């Protein structure tokens, strides 16, 4: 979709919004797709489902529940927002350009209902207190049995469907795997064609195309439960003897289970089928014929058609408000430093880390009042010095704790440890448990038929259905917790975060207790795990495999299947053309085109290989290249004067891949390396240095200086590289030396643990012309791509899902905050490079920042920016195009700490 510069404030509808057509108010539905959804490619089933075509800006995909699930994509201007679905723990804002955000602490929902079959409306609003809680457990619900908590992942249903034949209706019992049908659904295709395993259970009536099937009852008869965790308050010896319960539950055994629902899951939602505690005098329908095997069925099931949601919101500054959900918008892309009162965070500065609890946040100035529990002191801190989540890519103090975050959030389900015991983690970390068993992840189909546990579930459900049709076996209802019974006090839902660091937990019996953080362990939601599996399977972040066909553009500009040659970079159309580089950089520093990085002639290639003893193959083939390098870099250009490419005698011990075992390079590897070196010799810009090593031909190190008018300006970015034995058929392996001290990524593509996320490196999916190709790609292209495509003026938009937000107020606000973070962190990179000598680049760092005066420039620029930010916080017209026009108070605090350290290195500047 082309970028629309007229986007303005952004779209007004979001996923799960309840809307109606402006022209036809009786059309009410749920937004299932919106422009904000992260979709890189059109859905594969576009053309089959009318909701699945690519969305244009200002469009939304809606399922109209009031009209039998009709699905349409419509302009937002034709839709009116009725209600907005938010849950406790969700973030929200008043508007896109509002920096202050809130967290939902509680919701209250009221709804209008109608009979699920006849659609006859019922006057007035209904709330949760009017609902009879006798519905079945649904997929995703938690269930408790014998000190185990599990999650319902699949059901076997028996639905009763009325098939109209003339004026009379015939009831048919339909058993099937999965929760496909709900009461009130109609259509000519509700009953599937008789199939193996089901045809003996009901007799299909005579039908014609005008007959409509009507679902009049649905019952879950068999439950498949994934048991996640055992009661953590038990003595270890007792817990070890608690055997994991069985997978499948039905019949009398259902009465042994206790249903535990989240508080928000109990609230009314549009489309829910409910029963009322008092339905006297309300609509009822009758189905079936007297004398039939199924008999006559009276239905008094109701469908929720409309809701109105009221939110309790805690704003970052500590103020609280009760507000209609339609008066806020979802905060979909929170800043990584965002936090709220009661949140557990880690304050990090200069290697010092201390746990703290947020008291209040000034989102505009990016500062927070935080409580240090060890001293009781409350201090002002920059948000840029707070780790609010504990999900940094690399935690050297606790490398095994990456799945575990800091503290808990409202809506989290937790297990309670016994008084006097703990979760075993150091505050503010909270572990999570509940990894689902391997059987849950089994492939559902084999040769078009159910397989594994699903096949077992289908067979079990079908057998029960056959028995039911004969003797109607008795079943027990799943239990519900009684208020205050205290039977399940070892688990609950987080409903509040207190300013002293304690956590409010509401137990299944609705009692509310307060616990210290160390007595809590989060339950890892099983459905969430399966969704993560599906996401990982659909997009593993890697490029096409070696066996996949790749395409390249020929000399006529036509894309053709790429032919893999034994000797890469061989193309007769290139013979006799001098090596040159065409690199075009636009005014914001983005790389526009890299082309014509050509290899040397065949004669030079042969000569440079040499013919020394095989034992010296790691060294001698480079001699000719060294001479060329030294001969071609006498005049490196204006500004910076240094050798952009150089081959050193040995790799430094601080290289990320120094401890790896090098494979003996092949002749073809060294030949390709020779060509790569020649391209680097003449093609590197002044702001990129590359060092290779005689003793380790598989390793390189590059230093990239941040481009002008980006948040990375003048900062050093060091990436270590390794070429495996399959190079160039596989891309080079990169490791970014992140010097953020656990304060977050300096760039979306540069991870704290060292990953460089880029298509050409095979660490991100891309078009076929973007991924690494042995015949089209080069090391030079990879280095320049990082400088031109990663270290850019607006790095926040490097995330694919965010690029479409260019031109919106949401994108502008988030990009500005990200740029400030990137600028401050990258000033810390300067300090790190000066503080700890960088193997093989010591003299270059000294030259750049001392001899060439770049450190003075960095200091002057930073001090001027701080002064401008204090004198005139508003951005003037002349500063609109600057990457970092102003700093918040929080940004200033963090930057001034770094400048204090950098001033010490000014003294080391040679006179």
Q: What is the pLDDT of residue 168?
A: 62
CA distance 128 to 130: 5
pLDDT of residue 69: 80
pLDDT class of 401 with cuts at 50, 70, 90: very low
Pairing of the two strands 645-648 and 688-693: parallel
* Average pLDDT value for residue range 359-370: 97
| CA 17/CA 332 separation, integer angstroms | 14
**What is the set of active-site residues?**
757
pLDDT band for 792, please (50, 70, 90 cuts).
very high
Kindly state whether residue 352 falls inside one of the protein's structural domains: yes
Q: What is the pLDDT of residue 843?
A: 94
Q: Which residues of 790-811 are buried (b: 16+ CB within 10 A; e: fewer)?
A: bbbbbbbbbbeebebbbbbbbb
Residue 500 reports pLDDT greater than 60: yes
The predicted structure's pLDDT at residue 499: 98
Q: In CATH, what number is assigned to the domain containing residue 378?
A: 2.30.30.140
Q: What is the mean pLDDT of residues 546-556?
A: 42
The pLDDT of residue 768: 64
473: confidence class by pLDDT, cuts 50, 70, 90: low
How, if at all, do strands 142-145 and 91-93 pair? unpaired
pLDDT at residue 566, as a whole number: 47
**Residue 786 or 205, more confident:** 786
Residue 597 reports pLDDT greater than 90:
no
Q: Is the dihedral of CA 830, 832, 835, 837 positive or negative?
A: negative
**Using 50, 70 and 90 to split pLDDT, how confident is the model at 65?**
confident
Stretch 708-728: mean pLDDT, rounded?
96
pLDDT, average across residues 486-504: 96
Per-residue three-class SS string for 620-648: HHHHHHHHHHHHHCCCCCCCCCCCCEEEE
Whether residue 702 is contained in a domain is answered as: yes
How large is the angle between the packed helices 602-609 and 623-632, nearest 10 degrees?
120
CA 43 distance to own-chain centroid = 19
Region 407-433: mean pLDDT is: 95
Question: CA-CA distance, 654 to 838, in Å (whole number)?
Answer: 8
Angle at 201 between CA 200 and CA 206, to 5 degrees: 85
Q: Is 694 exposed, middle or buried (0-12, 13-18, 19+ CB in 10 A)?
A: middle
Higher pLDDT, 503 or 9: 503
Q: What DSSP line would sit under 530-555, residue for residue?
A: HHHHHHHHH--S----TTS--EEE-T
Q: Which pLDDT score, from 0 to 100, does residue 39 have?
A: 57
Instruction: Give the pair of three-digit tokens for residue 593.
Output: 């085109």
For the segment 43-67, the average pLDDT, to the nearest whole number, is 78
Residue 422 lies in a domain: no
DSSP string, 493-528: EEEEE-TTS-EEEE-TTS-EEEE-GGGEEEE--HHH
The mean pLDDT value for 354-375 works out to 97
Q: Which of 202-216, 315-329, 543-557, 772-786 has the lowest mean pLDDT?
A: 543-557
Pairing of strands 213-230, 186-187: antiparallel
* Containing structural domain, residue 866: 660-908
Cα separation, 911 vs 157, whole angstroms = 84
Lowest-confidence segment of 294-298, 646-650, 671-675, 796-800 by average pLDDT = 294-298
In a domain, 670, yes or no: yes
Cβ 258 vs Cβ 479: under 8 Å: yes
How far is the C-alpha of 801 from the C-alpha of 545, rounded, in Å? Answer: 24
Give the span between the Cα atoms of 99 and 112, in whole angstroms.
35
Q: What is the pLDDT of residue 538?
A: 53
Contact 486, 262 (CB under 8 A): no
Q: How many helices (H) and strands (E) does the chain have?
A: 11, 45
Name the percent of the chain lying above pLDDT 90.
63
Which of 388, 404, 429 is the endpoint of a domain?
Answer: 388
Given a cut of 70, whether residue 729 has pLDDT beyond it is yes
Alpha carbon distance 429, 614 (integer Å): 55
| CB contact at 8 A, 384 and 890 | yes
Q: Are 540 and 166 in contact (CB under 8 A)?
A: no
Higher pLDDT, 487 or 195: 487
Residue 343 has pLDDT above 70, yes or no: yes
Predicted pLDDT of residue 97: 87
Report the pLDDT value the prediction gives residue 246, as an integer from 0 to 100. 97
Q: Return phi, psi of residue 646, to 5°.
A: -150, 145
Alpha-carbon distance of 641 to 638, in angstroms, equals: 7
Q: Is residue 38 part of a domain?
A: yes
DSSP 251: G
Instruction: Return d(Cα 118, Cα 284) in angstroms, integer.
Output: 8
Number of structural domains found in the chain: 3
3-state secondary structure of 161: strand
Domain boundary among 55, 83, 111: 83
Question: Is 264 inside a domain boundary?
Answer: no
Upper half-sphere CA count for residue 462 (Cβ side, 13 Å) = 16
Predicted pLDDT of residue 403 = 54
Q: What is the mean pLDDT of the chain?
A: 83
- 36 versus 14: the higher-pLDDT residue is 14
Q: What is the pLDDT of residue 47?
A: 56
What are 115's strand-pairing partners? Answer: 302
Half-sphere exposure of 743 (CA within 13 A, CB side): 27
What is the mean predicted confidence (pLDDT) over 410-431?
95
* In-domain check, residue 226: no
**Domain assignment of residue 31, yes or no:** yes
* pLDDT range class, residue 294, cuts 50, 70, 90: low
Looking at residue 873, which CATH number applies to its domain?
A: 3.10.110.10
- Ranges 126-130, 615-619, 840-844: which has the least confidence: 615-619
> What's the pLDDT score for residue 470?
64
Say whether pLDDT at 578 is over 60. Answer: no
Range of weakest confidence among 123-137, 187-201, 235-249, 728-742: 187-201
Q: How far is CA 887 from CA 156, 340, 647, 746, 792, in A?
A: 58, 21, 41, 16, 19
Please give the residue that has the higher pLDDT: either 433 or 395.
433
pLDDT in the model for residue 612: 36
Q: Does residue 798 register a pLDDT over 70?
A: yes
According to the model, what pLDDT value does residue 197 have? 42
Q: What is the pLDDT of residues 525-544, one digit of tens each?
A: 998 898 887 766 555 444 44
Give me the residues paired with residue 778 across strands.
Answer: none
Whether residue 818 is predicted with pLDDT greater than 90 in this model: the reply is: yes
Strands (E), 412-483: 413-416, 429-430, 432-433, 445-446, 449-450
């Amino acid at each position: 979709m082309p970028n629309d510069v007229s986007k303005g404030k952004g779209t007004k509808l979001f996923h799960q919004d309840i809307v109606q057509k402006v022209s036809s108010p009786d059309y009410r539905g749920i937004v299932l797709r919106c422009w904000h959804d992260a979709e890189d490619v059109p859905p594969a089933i576009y053309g089959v489902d009318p909701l699945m075509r690519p969305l244009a800006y200002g469009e939304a995909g809606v399922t109209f529940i009031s009209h039998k699930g009709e699905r349409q994509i419509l302009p937002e201007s034709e839709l009116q927002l009725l209600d907005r679905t938010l849950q406790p723990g969700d973030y929200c804002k008043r508007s896109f350009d509002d920096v202050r955000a809130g967290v939902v602490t509680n919701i209250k929902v009221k709804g209008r209902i109608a009979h699920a079959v006849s659609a006859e409306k019922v006057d007035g609003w209904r709330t949760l207190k009017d609902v009879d809680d006798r519905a079945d457990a649904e997929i995703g619900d938690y269930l408790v049995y014998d000190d185990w908590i599990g999650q319902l992942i699949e059901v076997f249903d028996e639905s009763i469907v009325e098939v109209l034949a003339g004026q009379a209706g015939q009831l048919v019992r339909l058993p099937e795997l999965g929760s496909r049908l709900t009461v009130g659904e109609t259509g000519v295709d509700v009953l599937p064609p008789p199939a193996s395993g089901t045809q003996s259970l009901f007799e299909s009536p005579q039908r014609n195309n005008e007959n409509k099937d009507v679902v009049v009852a649905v019952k879950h008869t068999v439950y498949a439960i994934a048991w996640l965790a055992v009661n953590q308050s038990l003595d270890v010896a007792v817990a070890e003897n608690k055997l994991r319960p069985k997978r499948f539950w039905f019949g009398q055994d259902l009465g042994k289970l206790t249903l535990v629902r989240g508080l928000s899951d109990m609230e009314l939602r549009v489309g829910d089928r409910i029963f009322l505690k008092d339905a006297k005098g309300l609509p009822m329908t009758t189905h079936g014929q007297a004398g039939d095997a199924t008999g006559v069925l009276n239905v008094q099931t109701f469908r929720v058609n409309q809701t109105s949601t009221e939110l309790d919101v805690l704003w970052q500054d500590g103020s609280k408000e009760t507000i209609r959900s339609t008066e806020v918008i979802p905060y979909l892309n929170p800043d990584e430093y965002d936090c709220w009162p009661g949140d557990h965070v880690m304050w990090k500065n200069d290697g010092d880390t201390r746990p703290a609890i947020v008291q209040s946040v000034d989102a505009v100035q990016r500062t927070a009042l935080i409580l240090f529990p060890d001293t009781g002191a409350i201090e002002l801190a920059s948000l840029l010095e707070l780790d609010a989540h504990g999900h940094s890519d690399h935690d050297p103090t606790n490398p095994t704790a990456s799945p575990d975050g800091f503290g808990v959030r409202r809506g989290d389900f937790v297990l309670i440890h016994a008084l006097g015991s703990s979760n075993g983690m150091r505050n503010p970390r909270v572990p999570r448990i509940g990894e689902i068993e391997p059987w849950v992840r089994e492939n559902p189909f084999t040769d078009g038929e159910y397989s594994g546990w699903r096949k077992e579930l289908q067979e079990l459900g079908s057998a029960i259905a056959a028995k039911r049709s004969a003797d109607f076996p008795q079943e027990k209802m799943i239990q519900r917790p009684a208020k205050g019974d205290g039977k399940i006090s070892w688990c609950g839902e987080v409903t509040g975060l207190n300013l002293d660091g304690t956590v409010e937990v509401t137990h299944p019996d609705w009692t509310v207790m307060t616990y210290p953080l160390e007595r809590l362990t989060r339950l890892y939601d099983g459905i969430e795990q399966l969704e993560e599996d599906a996401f990982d399977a659909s997009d593993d972040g890697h490029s096409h495999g070696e066996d996949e066909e790749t395409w390249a553009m020929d000399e006529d500009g036509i894309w053709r299947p790429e032919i893999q040659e034994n000797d890469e970079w061989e193309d007769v159309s290139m013979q006799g053309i001098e090596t040159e580089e065409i690199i075009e950089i636009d005014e914001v520093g983005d790389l526009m085109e890299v082309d014509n990085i050509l290899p040397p002639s065949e004669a030079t290639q042969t000569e440079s290989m040499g013919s020394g003893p095989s034992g010296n193959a790691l060294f001698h083939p480079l001699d000719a290249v060294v001479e060329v390098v030294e001969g071609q870099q006498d005049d490196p250009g204006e500004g910076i004067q240094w050798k952009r490419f150089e081959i050193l005698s040995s790799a430094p011990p601080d290289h990320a891949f120094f401890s790896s075992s090098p494979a003996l390079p092949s002749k073809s590897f060294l030949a390709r390396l020779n060509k790569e070196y020649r391209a680097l010799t003449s093609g590197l810009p002044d702001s990129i240095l590359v060092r290779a090593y005689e003793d380790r031909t598989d390793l390189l190190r590059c230093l990239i200086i941040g481009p002008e008018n980006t948040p990375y300006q003048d900062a050093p970015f060091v990436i270590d590289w390794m070429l495996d034995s399959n190079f160039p058929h596989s891309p080079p392996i990169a490791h970014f030396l992140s010097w953020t001290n656990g304060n977050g990524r300096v760039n979306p593509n540069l991870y704290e643990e060292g990953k460089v996320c880029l298509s050409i490196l095979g660490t991100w999916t891309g078009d076929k012309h973007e991924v690494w190709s042995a015949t089209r790609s080069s090391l030079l292209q990879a280095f320049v791509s990082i400088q031109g495509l990663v270290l850019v003026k607006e790095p926040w938009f490097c995330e694919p899902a965010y690029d479409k937000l260019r031109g919106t107020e949401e994108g502008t606000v988030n990009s500005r905050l990200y740029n400030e973070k990137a600028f401050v962190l990258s000033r810390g990179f300067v300090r790190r490079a000066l503080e700890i000598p960088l193997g093989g680049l010591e003299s270059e760092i000294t030259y750049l920042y001392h001899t060439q005066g770049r450190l003075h420039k960095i200091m002057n620029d930073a001090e001027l920016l701080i002064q401008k930010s204090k004198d005139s916080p508003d951005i003037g017209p002349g500063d609109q195009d600057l990457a970092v026009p102003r700093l918040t108070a929080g940004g200033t605090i963090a930057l001034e700490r770094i400048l204090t350290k950098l001033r010490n290195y000014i003294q080391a500047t040679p006179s």
